[in-house]
Structure 1
Amino acid sequence: MSKILFASALTDTLSVGSTLKIIFTSLIMGLFISIVYIKTQGKDGYSPGFTITLIMLPAIIAIIILLVGNNIARAFSLAGAFSLIRFRSAPGDPIDISYVFFTLAVGLACGMGYIAYGVLFAIILCIVMVILSTTKYAKPKTRNMQLKITIPEDLDYQDCFDDILLQYTQSYKVQRVKTCDFGALFEIVYTLCLKEDINQKEFIDKLRCRNGNLSIVLNTEINNEKVYS
């Protein structure tokens, strides 16, 4: 029974019934993965367009696999067509990229006719993602932030804000210093971790008094491996 269940649903020639079965199964699996993504990433925010993409990707990949089959000429033609497409979007969250590969794998399994394997793979991975989300695995207790402070050129930036930062942060580090307005101003970029239950307005007000009420930007969401310009 298990050999029949996990055998390929494809035959040597495509039929309307098997094709529709594969397409609708891929869409259902994509919807299932999309729902899990929304539930696990809801607190951190997500793009509605990305969730729709997760629904469509498995069916798209399944259709491509169905059309290419074992035809080498078609495979090379398809590779040439895709090489014309250039993606200019910024790199996304690694978890989003993993979901993209997840849906691609499910679509590939369905397109090859191994529907049961695709369903089993999707269920296992979704359960793992739900467990990791509910247990908050690898999520830090504190969140890194980015602080940009503009100061006049006559102000020594090296130790200017250390006393304030020591009072309000658990840790801080200077990431970059650059000049702006033809050298009339300096911009200092810190990555820092604020202490719990502090008043952010009070923190910024003290910085404003020190930098002459020039521009101060506190980004509460940053990538730990990259400082945004």
Structure 2
Amino acid sequence: MNDLINQLNLNFDENFSILNYVINILICGVLLFFLKIIYVRYGTAISNRSQLSKVLILVGITTFIIISIVKSSLALSLGLVGALSIIRFRTAIKEPEELGYFFIAISIGLGLGANQLLPTVIGFGILILIVVLLNKNKLGNSFSQNLLIRLQCKNDDKSKITDQISTIVSEHSNQVDLKRIKYANEEINFNFSINISSIEKIKAIHDSLSKIDNSIDVTFLSNEI
């Protein structure tokens, strides 16, 4: 019975070391910063990787703090489970890659929050090595753009022109995501999110689209704006 009471004790561990805590949280921050760089450099998601990479740091540090608080108390651990059961993560994760990086960030926070420095660092190093090896020849030098297209056309030609534009954009892009399409009176508006490998691809897309109609309005915008 005494052991059970001790487990439910809300007091922190008497052996808690402020120096050790600060060192671990600094190491956690450094590892998460490297994870941020790796995600921006080698990630293939066409969403705003620069913005999402900042969230990875917040998630990892928050996980570290939570684990540091609850690891010495069964009551706090049970309370955390109850709190998490009513929390809903409502932001849609569109690509599995994003979820994978979130798990890496959480793992770093868990490991260092539990004072498992060596396993965490070794595991992180192996994961980063795998990511680099798998992606070194892929989209490392690519970048993302928002492509806005506006074109005047007859209503009878809208279906044909839609297919032509989609084909051209897909042929010159590594990844394509149609964000919005609007059919107005004798006008079509497209909003694509694309991933391209070089500036030359922008010119190639523009030239190909101009062959459909010289009056076509084509705009490229960085999705990091």
Q: TM-score range by the shorter chain?
A: 0.5 to 0.7
Q: Does 2:129 align with 1:124?
A: no
Q: 1:160 to 1:38 in 2, by over 3 A?
A: closer
Whole-Å Cα distance in 2 between the matches of residues 159 and 204 of structure 1? 13
Q: Which moved more, 1:72-81 or 1:161-170?
A: 161-170
Q: Give the Å deviation of 1:188.
A: 8.6
Q: 1:88 to 1:151 in 2, by over 3 A?
A: farther
Whole-Å Cα distance in 2 between the matches of residues 129 and 108 of structure 1? 21
Q: Does 2:213 align with 1:208?
A: yes
Superposition map of 1:42-57 within 5 A: 46-47=49-50, 49-57=51-59
CA offsets 1:6-61 (integer angstroms, 9 cap, x no match)? xxxxx96441243333323322322332333344359x8741x5444434433321
Q: Which structure is higher in helix share?
A: 2
Retained in 1: the 8 A contact 2:152–2:186? Answer: yes
Whole-Å Cα distance in 1 between the matches of residues 164 and 34 of structure 2? 51
Q: Give the Å deviation of 1:119.
A: 0.4
Secondary structure, counterpart of 1:113 in structure 2: coil
Indicate the RMSD between aligned Cα atoms, in angstroms: 4.9
Partner of 1:78: 80
Q: 1:72 to 1:162 in 2, by over 3 A?
A: closer
Whole-Å Cα distance in 1 between the matches of residues 159 and 102 of structure 2? 44
Retained in 1: the 8 A contact 2:38–2:128? Answer: yes
Length-normalised TM-score, structure 2: 0.58
Partner of 2:98: 96
2:23 to 21, 32, 39: 21
Q: 1:179 to 1:52 in 2, by over 3 A?
A: closer
Q: 1:29 to 1:185 in 2, by over 3 A?
A: same
Whole-Å Cα distance in 2 between the matches of residues 168 and 76 of structure 1? 52
Partner of 1:37: 39
2:62 to 60, 63, 76: 60
Q: Which moved more, 1:106-115 or 1:13-22?
A: 13-22
Retained in 1: the 8 A contact 2:165–2:209? Answer: no
Q: Give the Å deviation of 1:65.
A: 1.0
Whole-Å Cα distance in 2 between the matches of residues 190 and 24 of structure 1? 42
Bigger Cα Rg = 1
Whole-Å Cα distance in 1 between the matches of residues 39 and 59 of structure 2? 14
Whole-Å Cα distance in 2 between the matches of residues 95 and 67 of structure 1? 30
Q: Give the Å deviation of 1:108.
A: 0.9
CA offsets 1:89-116 (integer angstroms, 9 cap, x no match)? 4535543332221111121112222211
Q: Give the Å deviation of 1:87.
A: 5.0
Q: 1:166 to 1:80 in 2, by over 3 A?
A: closer
Retained in 1: the 8 A contact 2:25–2:61? Answer: yes
Query: Where does the alignment leave 5 or more consecutive residues of structure 2 unmatched?
Result: 1-11, 173-177, 193-200
Residue 31 of structure 1 aligns with an amino acid whose one-letter code is F
Whole-Å Cα distance in 2 between the matches of residues 167 and 29 of structure 1? 41
Retained in 1: the 8 A contact 2:183–2:189? Answer: no
Length-normalised TM-score, structure 1: 0.57
Whole-Å Cα distance in 1 between the matches of residues 138 and 164 of structure 2? 34
CA offsets 1:159-205 (integer angstroms, 9 cap, x no match)? 5688899899859xxx9xx8844xx44749799xxxx8974444333
Q: Give the Å deviation of 1:80.
A: 4.8
Q: Give the Å deviation of 1:157.
A: 4.2
